[in-house]
Structure 1
């Protein structure tokens, strides 16, 4: 069972190519996924096998210090990163596309936001084996409001709704550096797309993913109603009532590697 299914109750509305998904924590759900989520957060900043090697070479305390040096320490940076992390996990759990590069591993400052699209999903259509992309924008707010939603939609609509070339090249080049042949193939397809711009709009889906303390604001549904129907549109809210406390708590868990 995936992370969200253990953790949350979901309500899903679908109309043509528009999907409105809301998630709220189940009673006891947070305890159910606490260790799993902490490990997934670690994996977005470094490879788990590399962390394990640090533990083997240096011990738990020194390995935790290395991990802590890679992870954000300000509440703002943690909030933004967690939005991207949880959006990525949802895409891979519920949509069937990969988010093939964990871009938080490549930050040039642990408390700085990265430029470009927040997350890009990629895969191939089952019918004709052609490239399919998802352009995503993630927002994490104690209080979600209309202006945040409007700004996120504005970003999704930039570049005629296409993923930005620099974001695509970042993903493609990391995949081409991989030793995995399937990664190389996907990287080549994405790199070709930057040059050819051959994907139609109906093969570039959009996701507006939000985490908030006040739950799904009415502007989310309004935004989805106003969105075009030429692509799959996902508008998502994850309601975490103690938003800021939760972020502090889960990052403390992620930084703690234990001692056994």
Structure 2
């Protein structure tokens, strides 16, 4: 996706915690939309799955398959795109990796994905063997302190750790895909109660039309727990228009137009 290719980036510290502000560069609305739209389908279905339908049933059926995975409501599109942008940022700009594209397993295209918004992993040397990133994503035309407060509350659940249910879901998918090494590390941490709080970091990723940097700064400054924190704000002034444009581009591409 290359988020930093079409965004200005400003990083700073809030106490011991990290604040990153990303803002769409002037004149790069279409470039950003094209890049994001190209990445979106793989978050809802694997390339092998789409290729199989294309080979067996043809282009029209493959296009229908992709389009019927996409949400139609503005609220769900906003939330899904926030999660896609957030997971892409984690994979591109941090030492963590999300392992899977979890939107592929949504119960219904018009429902939000249950569980922690973002979970990512970093295998490490030493006795801990693995570190975990637990993240919450918020997407809104106008980000507010109340919205970010809900993200902070969610991060505190499960004793500030990723939920065991969400971790086991990911481990199951990783085993299905043959990534047994990472899946085993997750299983060990969950099933043998080996996850220490020192192995966990938190992230809030806010995708909005307004500048949320001051709100994010205040949110993380008020945190008094033991977990390392990072807060990331992605600002695209035309928030609603950007979401509509991205999903519109995905549909056009699926139809081969």
**Normalised by the size of structure 1, how large is the TM-score?**
0.91
Q: Distance in 1 between matches of 2:185 and 2:126?
A: 17
Find out whether 1:49 has 2:45 as its counterpart: no
How far off is 1:258 after superposition?
Answer: 4.7
Q: Distance in 1 between matches of 2:117 and 2:205?
A: 10
How far off is 1:226 after superposition?
Answer: 1.8
Q: Distance in 1 between matches of 2:153 and 2:225?
A: 16
Q: Distance in 2 between matches of 1:249 and 1:236?
A: 23
Find out whether 1:6 has 2:2 as its counterpart: no
The 3-state SS of whatever aligns with 2:68 is helix
Find out whether 1:259 has 2:256 as its counterpart: yes
Alignment of 1:1-80 (within 5 A): 3-14=2-13, 17-80=16-79
Return closer, same or farther for 1:129/1:159 CA change in 2, 3 Å cut-off: closer
Q: Distance in 2 between matches of 1:80 and 1:259?
A: 26
Find out whether 1:101 has 2:97 as its counterpart: no
Which stretch of structure 1 is more off in the superposition, 150-159 or 126-135? 126-135
How far off is 1:121 after superposition?
Answer: 0.4
CA deviation string 1:70-102 (max 9, x = no partner):
111110000011111101001011112110121
**Contact kept? 1:77, 1:112, Cα under 8 Å:** yes
Which stretch of structure 1 is more off in the superposition, 188-197 or 146-155? 188-197
Match of residue 191 from structure 2: 195
CA deviation string 1:161-181 (max 9, x = no partner):
1001111111111111123xx
> What runs of 5+ residues in structure 2 fail to find an aligned partner?
none
CA deviation string 1:134-182 (max 9, x = no partner):
0010000011111101110000011221001111111111111123xxx
Alignment of 1:197-216 (within 5 A): 197-216=193-212
**Contact kept? 1:88, 1:99, Cα under 8 Å:** yes
Return closer, same or farther for 1:51/1:204 CA change in 2, 3 Å cut-off: same
Alignment of 1:97-246 (within 5 A): 97-126=96-125, 130-179=129-178, 183-216=179-212, 218-228=214-224, 230-246=226-242
> What runs of 5+ residues in structure 1 fail to find an aligned partner?
none
The 3-state SS of whatever aligns with 1:100 is coil
**Normalised by the size of structure 2, how large is the TM-score?**
0.92
Q: Distance in 1 between matches of 2:16 and 2:51?
A: 42
How far off is 1:126 after superposition?
Answer: 4.8
The 3-state SS of whatever aligns with 2:237 is coil
